[in-house]
Amino acid sequence: MIPSIHRDSKIIVDLVAIKQNIKKELARLTNRQEMFAVVKANGYGHGSIHVSKAAVEAGVSGFCVSNLDEAIELRNNGIQLPILILSYVAPEYVELMVDYDLSVTCPSLDWLIQVNRIIKQLDLAKPLAIHVKIDTGMGRIGFRSQEDMSQAMAIIDNNPDILLEGLFTHFATADSVSEEHFNLQKERFTVARALFPEKIRYVHTANSATTLWHDAWGSNMIRYGDAMYGLNPSGNELVEPFPLKQALSLETTLIHVKKIEKGEKVGYGATYETKTNEWIGTLPIGYADGLRRRFQGFEVLIDGQRVPIIGRVCMDQCMIKLPKSYPVGTKVTIFGTNQHQFNSIQSGADYIGTINYEITCGLSDRLPREFIDNTCGEMEG
């Protein structure tokens, strides 16, 4: 999907805000801790390449991505810092991982056995760097059995082309008031940690939530994701220890304005009926752009005022109720600041019953991204 650059709907990403969010957290870390910026899923919808370059300027030590292709994209765009692939990569891509100087998650004993067999048939220029994942209570990927962990170490010890670079886990409830499950995961990781060598370059348990509210427990490296973009990982459950600045704005414009008589229907399913003679504006944005149908009724901003989306959101358009007639081309802000009013991404997440980063990750590539990268507010496409 190519960006629709000839249409007035766009994402604006404040890279200055991202740098500030990074620097504020870096200031809280010890001199023994490093930060890897998490830029998977196109930088949580913000644009992975621009975000990564801003993160380098802000002082991160490396990056985390979801898959091999995301890692290769960073390398092909000049990112030279360490890159860790957090999810499963098929063993047959060992040579690609080494060629692109990537670190990869070891999710299971079976995966490691396959990799070990493949590597013995290759002449690698350098060892494959792996981070062993411990499933302490997330239930996704990772080792659970101590016997499997011990067998994994035996394989690693006997193959110089496999480098144990990292050991990690992921907390499922670090963003919650309740710490019961968090503490259980801590206990399990402590047991697992004792089965591996004392000296491992990266030991990391801390996602954004663990970093913000649990002092990056057990980590000499943190994986900084949601908070880097100015979003609170807990939604509204916990208060962040320092102000985070939302980096993403979503803007569009009016493309059509009309007065509709009382008692007329608007939108698919005729779910909205005008109560009086009403001014209706049409916006060139819809669910194909990531503005879900459930946003019907959500208030967007125009001229510093809140106005509701009326009728069902269409694939490419949606309608809003206006307080008066406005010219075609008038700016409408879905998320971000419009005069003295601000719409947070969290408010949109609350409205449709989801989490803030599902909102940003769901914004499609059809929306062009513009980037603010200095205090004067100049933009680049």
C-alpha–C-alpha distance, residues 25 and 113, integer Å: 38
What pLDDT was estimated at residue 374? Answer: 75
Q: Which of 200, 123, 189, 119 is nearest to 155 (CA)?
A: 119
Tens digit of pLDDT for each residue in 216-248? Answer: 999 999 999 999 999 999 999 999 999 999 999
168-178 pLDDT per residue, tens = 999 999 999 99
Binding-site annotation: residue ranges for substrate: 140, 315
Specify the 3-state DSSP secondary structure of 278. strand
Tens digits of residue pLDDT in 254-298: 999 999 999 999 999 999 999 999 999 999 999 999 999 999 999
Residue stretches of the annotated binding site: 140, 315
Residue count (the chain): 381
- How far is residue 156 CA from its own chain's centroid? 32
Task: Catalytic residue, from 40, 53, 133, 321: name it.
Answer: 40
268 counts as catalytic: yes
Domains of the chain: 32-229 (3.20.20.10), 248-372 (2.40.37.10)
What mean pLDDT value characterizes the chain?
96
Q: Which of 23, 259, 262, 268 is catalytic?
A: 268
Neighbour count for residue 148 (Cβ, 10 Å): 14
Residue among 98, 110, 34, 45 at smallest CA distance from 68: 98
Band (75; pLDDT cuts 50, 70, 90): very high
Helix, strand, or coil here: 49? Answer: helix
Exposure letters 333-363 (e unless 16+ CB within 10 A, then b): bbbbebeebebebbebbebeeebbbbbbbeb
Q: State the maximum Cα–Cα separation within the chain, in Å, rounded to a whole number.
A: 79
Q: Please say whether the beta carbons of 290 and 13 come within 8 A.
A: no
pLDDT greater than 50 at residue 376: no
User: What would the pLDDT profile of 109-153 be if each residue is shown by its tens digit?
Assistant: 999 999 999 999 999 999 999 999 999 999 999 999 999 999 999
Whether 165 shows a pLDDT value over 80: the answer reads yes
